[in-house]
Structures are given as structure tokens and as C-alpha cells.
Amino acid sequence: MSKHILVCLPISAEQRTRIEAVQGFAYRFTTPDTATVEDALWADAVLGNLPVPLIRQNGHLEWFQSNAAGPNNYLEPGVLPEGCIVTNATGAYGLAISECMLALWLSLLKELPTYRDNQREHRWAPTGHSVGSIAGSRVLCVGMGDIGSNFARRAHALGAEVVGVRRTVHPDTPCPDYCTRVVAQSALDAELPQADLVALSLPGTPETLHLFSAERLALCKPGAILLNVGRGTAVDGEALAAAVHSGQLSGAGLDVTDPEPLPPEHPLWAEPNVIITPHVTGGFSLPKTLDNIVDIFAHNLRRYAAGQPLDNQMDRRTQRRTAAKHTVKQKTAAQLCGSFCFCGLQHHCACARQASMAVKMASLVRVAPVIASAPAVEPVCVSCAASVSAALPPSSGVSAEASTCTAVTLPPVTVTVTVTSPMQPCAAEV
């Protein structure tokens, strides 16, 4: 039976054709707003940020391809099955977000927010202040992934001196030609007093939480500008507002905040030299971004079909991208044989492990009462027989002699599912 691929993105007909060109799969297309429980339970693999309340109901999902670079919500315990491979959209957003970073930077350098305010009041009033320039500026790019690297290239091309900051730096890794040097995060405090612009594109991890505290903001060069387009949690928002208000920083450009949305009473709203956008630079307003995501997915889909390790894999413990080490495991006869469908469960179990899986699968059904049966099938080997009693209670009538080499056969097994409510866990019994 073909694997089920659920695409949960507002893609075009042409993009759909590129995905469906990878043969050997059954496809279903939806969007986050129109996706249903049936869609979620149907899928073996998902492209796109299917709403968490839906995707967490799928206990057999093999692969989740996020349309985000940092799919933090999906990495939380209990959202995805333990063995589900998670891949992100690194490589999709560099162009769109880095161009927005340049726009924010230039707007602050050239005092455009002030002139926009004057325009609303019909005031023809030069500020009389000196303005800054990209050329000759010292830029500190904190985070040198896809987004940070793209911004560093563009800043360098416009005449800035760029220093990159990575979590760690290996001695044998060459410095890119658009950077003067790349330093480890341990050198951050030493670099901050020299930077005219501090550009953050960090993931949201425990290590980056309020990395830019009041103490670290105080280390910044007086009059510096701060940009944050990664995760809002990297910056203490109250401390940032105070730093701009005091003049320690001349301005800030923020596409992300902590919390999101930013509460109406937050002091950042009142700072005229702070530009805030509602986490939109990484959306799909630039069509090329969605096109990139489709390309990333189609590439991984071909690897999935070939049984090869997937690119852009995420470490669910550290919430960071890792090397492509793991291949999506195909379901074996000892795990799950037969089918799982919306209208019911039909499992043809060849060993006790499969009967146990039938119970687990039945517990996922939260929309209607279901009865699933697993009839007696072919014998199983002695190694499987050893787990029979552990998987099924004595009332099942199963017997196995693990000390012998004789095969055993499972009798019919009935799994009864009791549904409490549409969004509550079910009770399942054998």
C-alpha cells in the first residue's frame, strides 16, 4: 500500500505538480485552515504546519516536514510520535528575511520612521541629525545559519565589515569570504562594543533565552542598532525598551517579540526608534519562499522514497538542526500489518508486538466508537512468542512456550475503543 503524503500549505497548481512528480505515494492537499482530523489520521508524512491539536492525534506519523526553520511547538514532548523524523525549512527564508533586515536597518539609519510620523502630521521638518551608512559599518551577525549568512552576504556587498558569531567554531572550518572573521558565542561580549549593528537570527532554545539581557545590552556600542528576526525570546524586551529610551541603542528593528503578540501596554510600542513587524518576514508574502519550501520537500521526498536519510533533520532534544543520520523507518510486519483508516481499524497481527500496536492505534481514535479485530494468522517465531504474555492479558487465551522452538499462533483478538469526547484520550482494552 502506498504511503500517504499530506501537504498542508496553500500551494499553486504548478507546485503541486512538482510534488506529485515523485511517484509511489498517495497525496492529499489541504491548508492549515481547512485541515481535518481525518486528514491528520490519514497521513504517514506531512508537509506544512498542520495545527498541533490535529497532528498530535497521529500516533503513526513517520516524517514531519515543517514549513518553518524553527518548528519549536512541534518538538515539544507528546506532539509527535517518538520515532517521527522532523525536518525543517532551512534554506527557504534567507532571501526574504535578509532583505527585510536590510529594509529595517536602512529605515533606522536614515530616520525614516521620524519622517513617516511627520508626514501623518503634514509637517515639512528635517531632523537636522546626522545619519548613518551601511558602508563602513561594523556588523555583528549573531547566528550564521541560512538567514544570518544571507544577511551577512548582503551587508558585505554594500560595504559593511561583517563579523559572524556561531555557537561553536571549529578550527578547520574556513571563514566565508563575506566575513572578516567568525567567532564563537563565548566571544560575544568582546565583540559587542565594536558593532554598529547587532543582527540576531537565533533559534528559540533554552541556551538563547534572554541571551540579550540588560547586562549584555549595556555592552553594546553606544548608538548601535539591534535587529531581531529569529525568536523573540532571545531578547529581554523590557531591557531593550529601556536601552533604546536611554539612547544606549539608537534604535531596534523587530520582527519577533517576547511574548507574541506584543501586549498593547508593552513599552516597546512607545519608542519612536523601534520598528515592529508582526512576525511576517518569514511568511509567504514573497512567493519565492513557498517555492523554496516545495523544492526542499520534493528533494527530501525523493530521499524518503529511496530509503535515504533526510536533509534538514532536527534534534528533538536540543531543538537544533543536526546531520542527516536517520532514515525514516518503514513499518515492518512485526510492527504493523494491515491498515489504519478513518472508519475503523483492521490489523492482521503476526505476533504479540502487533497486537500491542493495535491497542496503541486504537487509542488514537477520538471521533467515533470503533471495534477492530485481529484474526489468527501465520505462526510466529519463538523470539516473538516471548512477548505474547506481556502484550496481551491472560484472558486473551494466548499461550506461548518461549523455551522451545515451536511456533505459536495468535487467536482472534478484539480491541474495543471507548470514546469519552472528541478531543480527549480514549480508553482501549483487549
Cα–Cα nearest to 8, from 206, 207, 294: 294
Whole-angstrom distance, CA of residue 74 vs CA of residue 71 = 6
209 grid coordinates = 533565552
Whole-angstrom distance, CA of residue 177 vs CA of residue 116 = 37
Q: What is the length of the chain?
A: 430
Side-chain half-sphere CA neighbours of 172 within 13 A: 0
Beta bridge partners of 30: 8
Whole-angstrom distance, CA of residue 119 vs CA of residue 19 = 47
Whole-angstrom distance, CA of residue 111 vs CA of residue 106 = 8
Q: Is 231 a catalytic residue?
A: yes
175 grid coordinates = 571563514
Cα–Cα nearest to 46, from 17, 79, 1, 13: 79
What is the DSSP track for 359-419?
HHHHTT--SS-EEEEE---S-B-HHHHTTHHHHS-GGG-----TTSS--B-PPPEEEEEE-
Cα–Cα nearest to 198, from 213, 186, 188: 188
Catalytic residue among 76, 215, 260, 401: 260
- Give me the sign of the Cα torsion angle 53, 59, 60, 63: positive
Q: Which amino acid is at 324?
A: A
Q: Which residue's entry shows cell 551577525?
A: 141
Q: Is 279 a catalytic residue?
A: yes
Q: Is 215 a catalytic residue?
A: no
Helical (H) or strand (E) element with 299:
helix 287-306
Whole-angstrom distance, CA of residue 52 vs CA of residue 61 = 13
Helical (H) or strand (E) element with 4:
strand 3-8
Whole-angstrom distance, CA of residue 309 vs CA of residue 304 = 7
Catalytic residue among 231, 321, 347, 353: 231
Q: Judge if the upstream peptide bond of residue 174 is cis by omega within 30 degrees of 0.
A: no
Catalytic residue among 153, 167, 279, 303: 279
- Give me the sign of the Cα torsion angle 227, 233, 235, 240: positive
Is residue 70 within 8 A of residue 88, CB to CB? The reply is yes
- Give me the sign of the Cα torsion angle 237, 240, 245, 250: negative
Active-site residue list: 231, 260, 279
